[in-house]
A and B are shown apart, each in its own frame.
Chain A
Amino acid sequence: MTTRHDNHRAIEVRGLRKSYGSQVVLDSIDLDVAEGTVFALLGPNGAGKTTTIHILSTLIPADEGEVQVAGFDVGRQADEVRRVIALTGQVSAVDEQFTGEENLRLMADLHHLGREPGRRQVADLLERFDLTEAAGKPASTYSGGMRRRLDLAMTLVGHPRIIFLDEPTSGLDPRSRRVMWQVIRDLVTDGVTVFLTTQFLEEADRLASRVALLDRGRVVAEGTPAELKRLVPGGSIRLEFAEASDLDQAASTLGEGSRDEDGLALELPHDGGIHDLRAVLDRLDAASVPVEALSVRSADLDDVFLSFTERTEAPEVPAP
């Protein structure tokens, strides 16, 4: 192996920029991913997540900046990078005309694993991803979840040390999503570094040890899930009333919240707990204010984004 700069950093990005024509897709991105951890790049459609993954996995060149994967420069040392990484993109990379086993065999052959070790690894992966039964059927007959599992199994042939997953669970049903999460956790237990993108806060929360929020090509916040959550306002309770007088009374009883005069509604911040909700209703009951309708909204990515993109400066999260 040739020179490696750092033994503890799987990915190091400094000042990464990428534009297509006049459209700036990535605007000076910095990222650090420690070896053997899960890093989630969180962001809405068009934030630049896929472009980032494409640059890190040597698919497209960066315009500017230092991008190192496993200590190798993705531009100048693409082959060295390719030897240790694997990618599962958003578009299925399964050859649907072939069976699951043939797809995996193709990967084994391209990794030059040799006949016996190749066969063994293919059998192991089929088993591990619960595809043994479907191994002989064309991938075109697979369900979405099975196809995604085959896709990931193909990624794991040859034991890559750093894996890129572009929205690994989008379009999966909740059950398949859980299976995928477990697979990712197992990978990290084996010492693999996982860099994933997602639109789901919950997914980043459950899997990642560090999360970066990407918005319009900029990292607007970075930190552990817990650190980010502290920066994000919680959910809300929306109370609707039949009369303006009821709204007035409720507002004075509760003494907080923002009024929506047109909708005759009151919105209160809410941490998502049942306790908090019950206390609000009890107080309104005690004051005999009739509530017409009630809805509870929990914090989601929208809140995170709204809160971060409204600020002009990206908040700094102190490193732990």
Chain B
Amino acid sequence: MTMLLSDSSTMLRRSLRRMRRYPSLTLFIAGIPVVLLLLFVYVFGGALGAGLGAGFGPPSDRQAYLAYLMPGILLLTVVSAAQGTAIAIAMDMSRGIVARFRTMAIAQASVLSGHVLGAVIQTVLASAVVVVVAVAIGFRPTTGPLSLLAAAALRLLVAFAVSWLSVALGMASDSVETASNLPMLLMLLLFLSSAFVPTATLPEPLRTFAEYQPVTPIVEALRALLFGAPLGTAGVVAVTWCLVIAAGGALWASRLYGRGPRPAR
């Protein structure tokens, strides 16, 4: 156990050092959500905000849409970081370095957990940038500090779950290129949820899908925690989904890790 901790911290230091050395990657991860945030608020915001109907958030349509959009943008940061994680792990796998780790008497789980912890920290940093930009353009949560803390915790849990999933996706890819594309599927899930528009506006098979897939309850839970909408069962469902995804991703990843290098050409 102490070996797992010390090796994980060694591996985490490796991830953090890479982050420090290549800050452009973290900025890029924050960049995509920031650009989409500005785009959605200033280009589509007026029209989409008007469509939200009365009773949600601040008076102006644009500001109402900013409030509606924020949970989705926070999740977008997770997806964007997931891509970075998948690329980093695929790069590790394509080189001999993982083979070296696997022949060393180290806590093997640390090779993966180092990546996951690094990815979570990277997402937190990128989210901070996104939140600063959002606040600058008028994002104002309306709930108290406890709810905000709960929102941050849920956001962290999502990052943890998606990081495990992206580690597995990165290992499952046969090339760095594939690894960089796989998390785009997560992006699609985000669009097919209540993140950008209310699910009630979607046509039928899509609406049912949107309501039952994991992103919607997570978005709804964040929305409730940030703006005081009724939480309902969304919180429990969201946390359950996160735990399921984290466990599934971790299991899949360690399975792939245990499989060893692919047979030589």
Contact = CB atoms under 8 A, between A and B. Distances in A.
A320 B53 CA distance: 92
Contact of B96 (A61, A85, A92, A109): A92
Given A97-B18, A106-B10, A50 B264 contact: yes
B185 interface: no
Contacts of A86: 103-104
Contacts of A154: 100
A82 B104 contact: yes
B99 A89 contact: yes
Nearest to B22: A97
Contacts of B265: 46
Contact of B100 (A54, A79, A93): A93
A51 B94 CA distance: 17
Contacts of B36: none
B10 A110 contact: yes
Interface string A173-208: 000000000000000000000000000000000000
Contacts of A89: 96, 99-100
A25 B263 contact: yes
Bin chain A's interface residue count.
35 or more
Interface in A77-93: 79, 82-83, 85-87, 89-93
Contact of A58 (B3, B10, B13, B102): B102
A60 B261 contact: yes
B106 interface: yes
A285 to B, nearest CB: 51
A95 interface: yes
A140 to B, nearest CB: 11
B130 to A, nearest CB: 26
Interface string B94-128: 11110111111110000000000000000000000
A3 B191 CA distance: 59
Interface in A58-109: 58-61, 79, 82-83, 85-87, 89-98, 102, 106, 109
Interface string B177-190: 00000000000000
Contacts of A92: 95-96
A79 B105 contact: yes
A50 B265 CA distance: 11
A283 interface: no
B6 interface: yes
Contacts of B101: 110
B7 interface: yes
Contacts of B94: 91
Nearest to A109: B10
Interface in B231-264: 260-261, 263-264
Contacts of A151: 96
Q: From A51, A82, A155, name the one whose CB has the most chain B CB atoms within 10 angstroms.
A: A82
A25 B264 CA distance: 10
Given A91-B95, A92-B95, A106-B10, A82 B103 contact: yes
Nearest to A61: B260
Contact of B105 (A50, A82, A94, A164): A82
Interface string A33-59: 000000000000010001100100111
25 contacts: A46-B264, A46-B265, A54-B260, A54-B261, A58-B103, A59-B99, A59-B103, A59-B261, A61-B260, A87-B100, A89-B96, A91-B95, A92-B95, A93-B97, A93-B100, A95-B14, A96-B95, A97-B22, A98-B17, A98-B18, A98-B21, A110-B7, A110-B106, A112-B6, A164-B103
- What are the nearest 5 A-B pairs in CB distance? A93-B96, A91-B96, A93-B100, A82-B105, A60-B260
Interface of B: 3, 6-7, 10, 13-14, 17-18, 21-22, 94-97, 99-106, 260-261, 263-265
